[in-house]
Amino acid sequence: MNRQPDIDARAFWIAQPGRGEIRPERVSPPGPDEVLVSALYGAISRGTEALVFQGRVPASEFRRMRAPFQAGEFPAPVKYGYASVGVVEEGPSDLRGREVFCLHPHQTHYVVPIGAVHPLPPKLPPQRAVLAANMETALNGVWDAAPAIGDRVAVVGAGVVGCLTAWLAAGIPACAVELIDVDPSRRSTAAALGVDFALPRDAAREADVVIHASGSPDGLATALSVAAFEATVVELSWYGDRRVEAPLGEAFHSRRLVLKSSQVGTVAPAVRARRTTRERMALALSLLQDGALDALIDSESGFDELPDVMRELTESGGLCRRIRYAKG
């Protein structure tokens, strides 16, 4: 039996900290338990992925920070990323032609095990499905924070994860949710998501649950300052190799605050016995069917622009930058 020829693909690599390039890839044909995916859209994580691009993964985290299907090693050269939406070109008949999400680096074509792809719900357009990894992080964060009916919830940091977290919390009956950010332009984003907005100086105090997602030490200080007596502050930010000062003097102890980490690598303890990571992703994709979430995608670039785009995004703000792959 003749072996099928390899597939010509291209991928984005971080050649050295702060510099990326598009490299050719040779992809072997899929085996019986694999699928060949042709990428349609991707997205860039302005938090974790920007830190990886800058070479700011601490050596202690090299193993734990590996992304699914990563190639190379930190700090570089490394092929890194985890937001790819594509169509299955080869694989089982029930998947062939289906649009899927995969936690895969930026690459035009790739072969992965069948279990690594997640079919999109019928009403989820592939252009919006690039938010799936962010939604999964936000969902895990809300599970960790466990807001209850009627709680006052503060979310500090109106990036994509913070916005999704606020939107999820707002779906809990009678929860009063305030999204807090230093950028006043995020007020319109909050309005599109149906949540209140405040600058840090105007934020309401006495929040029952606080979720911090700004990636900034100043944001963490704000999160601690708005928390009510015996409230929990859930930390969703990852700072890479940066040391962060937290104001644990002042009223931190007298108010008996709890500072708790949340990380998407494992399912939140509150639901871990009943939810697998695959079930969590399926839920994240189903939640993305709401068209209001298109407000979180504020720009789009072509795949070939990625070397310049990654450098640009480490120097500027914004929400989700979608990556568009050439079709055909």
Q: Are residues 256 and 308 in the same domain?
A: no
Domain boundary among 221, 246, 261: 261
Q: Are residues 176 and 235 in the same domain?
A: yes
Domain boundary among 243, 261, 279: 261
Residue 287 pLDDT > 70, yes or no? yes
> Which residues, in sequence order, are CB contacts of 31 under 8 Å at separation 6+?
none
Residue 255 pLDDT > 90, yes or no? yes
**Phi and psi at residue 196, in whole multiples of 5°?**
-75, 160
Q: Are residues 115 and 154 in the same domain?
A: no
Count structural domains, the chain: 2
Mean per-residue pLDDT for 269-278?
96
Mean per-residue pLDDT for 149-173?
98
Cα–Cα distance list, 243 to 58, 223, 278 (Å): 11, 18, 33
Q: Are residues 145 and 234 in the same domain?
A: yes
79 within domain boundaries: yes
Amino acid 230: pLDDT? 97
Residue 141 pLDDT > 80, yes or no? yes
281 within domain boundaries: no
Q: Are residues 199 and 304 in the same domain?
A: no
> pLDDT for 202-216, tens place per residue?
999 999 999 999 999
- pLDDT confidence band for 316 (50 / 70 / 90): confident
Q: Are residues 84 and 196 in the same domain?
A: no
Q: Are residues 145 and 256 in the same domain?
A: yes
268 within domain boundaries: no
Tell me the DSSP string of 247-284: --STTTTTTT-EEEE--TTS--TTTTTT--HHHHHHHH
**For residues 222 and 218, what is the distance between their CA atoms, to the nearest angstrom?**
6
Residue with tokens 């792959």: 325
Q: Are residues 92 and 14 in the same domain?
A: yes
Amino acid 4: pLDDT? 79
277 within domain boundaries: no
> pLDDT for 2-43, tens place per residue?
567 899 999 999 999 999 999 999 999 999 999 999 999 999
Residue 318 pLDDT > 90, yes or no? no
Q: Are residues 103 and 169 in the same domain?
A: no
Containing structural domain, residue 161: 134-261
Amino acid 118: pLDDT? 98
> pLDDT for 18-28, tens place per residue?
999 999 999 99
Question: CATH number, domain at 158?
Answer: 3.40.50.720
* Burial readout 207-243 (b: 16 or more C-beta within 10 A, e: otherwise): bbbbbbbbbbbebbbbbbbbbbeebbbbbbbbbbeee
Q: Are residues 220 and 193 in the same domain?
A: yes
Which of 186-200, 238-252, 293-307 is least confident?
238-252
Amino acid 3: pLDDT? 65
Q: Are residues 26 and 95 in the same domain?
A: yes
Amino acid 328: pLDDT? 40
Q: Are residues 122 and 225 in the same domain?
A: no
Question: CATH number, domain at 44?
Answer: 3.90.180.10
279 within domain boundaries: no
Amino acid 315: pLDDT? 74
20 within domain boundaries: yes
271 within domain boundaries: no
Amino acid 5: pLDDT? 84
> pLDDT for 42-63, tens place per residue?
999 888 898 999 999 999 999 9
194 within domain boundaries: yes
Domain boundary among 206, 238, 261: 261
